[in-house]
Amino acid sequence: MADGQDRANSALEAYWMPFTANKAFKAQPRLLAAAKDMHYFTPDGRAILDATAGLWCVNAGHGREPIVEAIRDAAGRLDYAPSFQLGHPAAFDFAGQLAEILPAGMDHVFFCNSGSEAVDSALKIALAWQRAAGRGTRTRLIGRERAYHGVGFGGISVGGIVGNRAAYGALLPGVDHLRHTYDPSLGVVRGQPERGAELADDLERLVGLHGADNIAAVIVEPLAGSTGVLVPPKGYLERLRAICDKHQILLIFDEVITGFGRLGAATAAERFGVTPDIMTLAKGLTNAAVPMGAVGVRSEIYEGMMQAIASGIELPHGYTYSGHPLAVAAGQATLDLYRDEGLFQRAADLEPVWERAVHGLAGAPHVKDIRNLGLVAGIELESRPGAAGQRAAEVFRACFDAGLLVRVTADIIALSPPLIISPAQIDQTVQTIADVLRRTA
C-alpha cells in the first residue's frame, strides 16, 4: 500500500500548479475527474456541487452538449488557422455576434486567449490610441487597490493585490492606483452600498498629482471579484465615467468575471448603465470549454487607429491563437446557449433568492460581513490571530469533503455558481457552508 501511495504522489510531481500551495496539495490532493451540469465528480465518483462555476467561468454549467458538439465539429473541419494576415470566416462571424451583445458603440473585438491577455491587450490598445491621437505624453495607467487584472506584467502592475505583485520587483513604470471601494463602517449591506460614490473623486487627486495630459487610461473591475467581492457603491461608476470624460482619459472595464450573465445582464456595463471605452472579456465567453479572451473597443478607438496609420499594421500586437477555430466554435455555441435558455434573465430572477439565502449566514460563527450582487457573494470571516487566511482555507477543505466547491481568498469565501443553479441547490450551498462553519468554530 505504501509503495502504491508513493507512486501516486510521484505522479503529481511534474505539474507545477498555478496559485496553489504545491507541497500541501500534493500531500493531500483534491482531484476532479468529470463534470456535468452543476456538479464535478472525483475519481472515485463522489459528486461535488459547483458553487464557483469552476473559476467564475462555467456560467452555463458543465458538459453542455451544444458546446461540446460545436467544438467536436470545428476540430474535424479546421483545427487551426493563422490569424496574422489571414483569417477564417467563423472568427469574423463571432466578432459580429459578440459585438451585438456589447454596449452600443462597442463595435469592434480583438481576440486573445485569456483574461490576462485581454487586460494586457487593452492596456496596449489604450496607449497606442492615445499616441495615434497625438497625445503621446499620456503614458500613465491607473488601476485600483485590491484589484485583480490577471497575471501578465501589465495586469499585475495595474492590479492591487499585494501578494500577486511582491515577488516581481518594480513592474511597469508610471502606474498609480485609486483607493478601493470597500467601507467596513457601513456594516452588512445587501446589494450596492448607498454611500461611496465620492470615492471615484480619488481620480481627481491622481490627475492633480500626475497631470491629466500624462494619464492614458483607468482600469477597474465594475465589481471586484478575486479580492473577495467588493460591490461598487451606487453612483461610483457613473462618477468615474464623468471624470474620465472630463480629462480625456480612457475608461477600461475588466469584465472577465462580470461578463455573460454574472450580474443578471450581458455585462456589468449593461447592468449599471455605464459604458466604458474598452472592455476585457474571457471566462464565460466560451463557458471555459476552450480558453479564449476578447477586448471590445468603441468604434472611435478602432477608427482612430485605422486612420492614424496610412498603410501596414495598425496595431503591432497579437497571439498565435487569436481567434482559434475551436475557441470561436465554443464561443458561438455558448452565446447561443445563453440566448436560447435565457440565462442572463434567469440570473436576474434568481438574484433575490440568492441574496436572501447568502444573508442567512449572518449569524453563523465567525462571519463578519456578507456582500452580494447578481449571482455573486463574498462571506468574510474573522481571521484567526496571527494566522490570516487559515480559517477560510480550512472551510474550503471541509466544504470539498462535504461535497461543495467554494472559492476562498484570504479569509473570504467567494461564491459564483453557474447560472443554471436551482433554488434547492442554492439552499444546499448555504446550508453546507453553515454546517462547516459550525464544525470549524
Q: Tell me the CATH number at 294.
A: 3.40.640.10
Percent of the chain with pLDDT over 70: 98
The residue among 286, 317, 340 that closes a domain is 340
- Is the pLDDT at 299 greater than 90, yes or no? yes
Q: For the chain, what is the radius of gyration of the CA atoms?
A: 22
What order of strands is seen across the sheet that includes strand 39-41?
Answer: 34-36, 39-41, 47-50, 404-405
| Residue with grid cell 454546517, as numbered in its chain | 435
- Pair 220, 280 in one domain: yes
Residue closest to 336 by CA, chosen among 286, 273, 386: 286
- Pair 329, 381 in one domain: no
pLDDT given at position 7: 52
- Pair 397, 305 in one domain: no
Helix, coil or strand: residue 249: coil
Residue 19: inside a domain: no
pLDDT given at position 2: 47
Question: If you average pLDDT over every residue of the chain, what do you get?
Answer: 96
Residue 306: inside a domain: yes
Q: Would you state the cell numbers that stand for residue 241, as one nine-digit string?
A: 465615467
- 15-35: pLDDT as tens digits: 999 999 999 999 999 999 999
- Is the pLDDT at 400 greater than 60, yes or no? yes
- 239-276: pLDDT as tens digits: 999 999 999 999 999 999 999 999 999 999 999 999 99
Distance in angstroms (rounded) separating the CA atoms of residues 283 and 285: 5
Residue closest to 147 by CA, chosen among 230, 261, 270, 262: 230
- 404-431: pLDDT as tens digits: 999 999 999 999 999 999 999 999 999 9
Please give the backbone phi and psi of residue 82, each rounded to the nearest 5 degrees, phi first: -65, 150
pLDDT given at position 151: 96
pLDDT given at position 309: 86
Distance in angstroms (rounded) separating the CA atoms of residues 31 and 25: 10
How far out from the chain centre does Cα 202 lie? 24
Percent of the chain with pLDDT over 90: 96
- Overall residue count recorded for the chain in this entry: 441
- Pair 306, 402 in one domain: no
Q: Are 376 and 229 in contact (CB under 8 A)?
A: yes
- Is the pLDDT at 332 greater than 70, yes or no? yes
Residue closest to 244 by CA, chosen among 281, 195, 204: 204
- Pair 316, 435 in one domain: no
- Is the pLDDT at 10 greater than 70, yes or no? yes
Residue 367: inside a domain: yes
pLDDT given at position 11: 86
Distance in angstroms (rounded) separating the CA atoms of residues 209 and 376: 35
- Pair 285, 418 in one domain: no
- Pair 48, 82 in one domain: no
Residue 23: inside a domain: no
CATH of the domain at 430: 3.90.1150.10
- Pair 311, 200 in one domain: yes
State the burial class of residue 341 (Cβ atoms within 10 Å of its Cβ: 0-12, 13-18, 19+): middle
- Paired with 50 in beta bridges are 405
| Residue with grid cell 470545428, as numbered in its chain | 74
pLDDT given at position 3: 52
* Confidence class for position 170, pLDDT limits 50, 70, 90: confident
User: Taken in order 19, 15, 54, 387, is the CA torsion positive or negative?
Assistant: negative
Domain total of the chain: 2
Q: Which H helix or E strand runs over 50?
A: strand 47-50
Please give the backbone phi and psi of residue 293, each rounded to the nearest 5 degrees, phi first: -135, 165
Residue 35: inside a domain: yes
- Pair 257, 368 in one domain: no
Q: Are 319 and 285 in contact (CB under 8 A)?
A: no
Half-sphere CA count of 272, side-chain side, radius 13 A: 28
Rounded to the nearest 10 degrees, what angle do helices 89-101 and 325-340 cross at? 40
- Is the pLDDT at 5 greater than 90, yes or no? no
State the burial class of residue 37 (Cβ atoms within 10 Å of its Cβ: 0-12, 13-18, 19+): middle
Per-residue pLDDT, averaged over 35-54, amounts to 98
- Pair 353, 299 in one domain: no
Q: Are 143 and 330 in contact (CB under 8 A)?
A: no
Residue closest to 250 by CA, chosen among 258, 240, 238, 259: 240
- 56-102: pLDDT as tens digits: 999 999 999 999 999 999 999 999 999 999 999 999 999 999 999 99
Residue 13: inside a domain: no
- Pair 238, 387 in one domain: no
The residue among 340, 358, 386 that closes a domain is 340
Residue 410: inside a domain: yes
Per-residue pLDDT, averaged over 168-181, amounts to 95
pLDDT given at position 6: 55
pLDDT given at position 1: 40
* Confidence class for position 8, pLDDT limits 50, 70, 90: low
Q: Would you state the cell numbers that stand for residue 290, as one nine-digit string?
A: 476552450
| Residue with grid cell 465615467, as numbered in its chain | 241
pLDDT given at position 81: 97
Residue 236: inside a domain: yes
Helix, coil or strand: residue 209: helix
pLDDT given at position 310: 87
Residue closest to 217 by CA, chosen among 129, 102, 318, 114: 129
Q: Are 127 and 308 in contact (CB under 8 A)?
A: no
Domain that holds residue 379: 31-60+342-439
- 133-152: pLDDT as tens digits: 999 999 999 999 999 999 99
* Confidence class for position 297, pLDDT limits 50, 70, 90: very high
- Pair 247, 289 in one domain: yes
The residue among 340, 365, 397 that closes a domain is 340
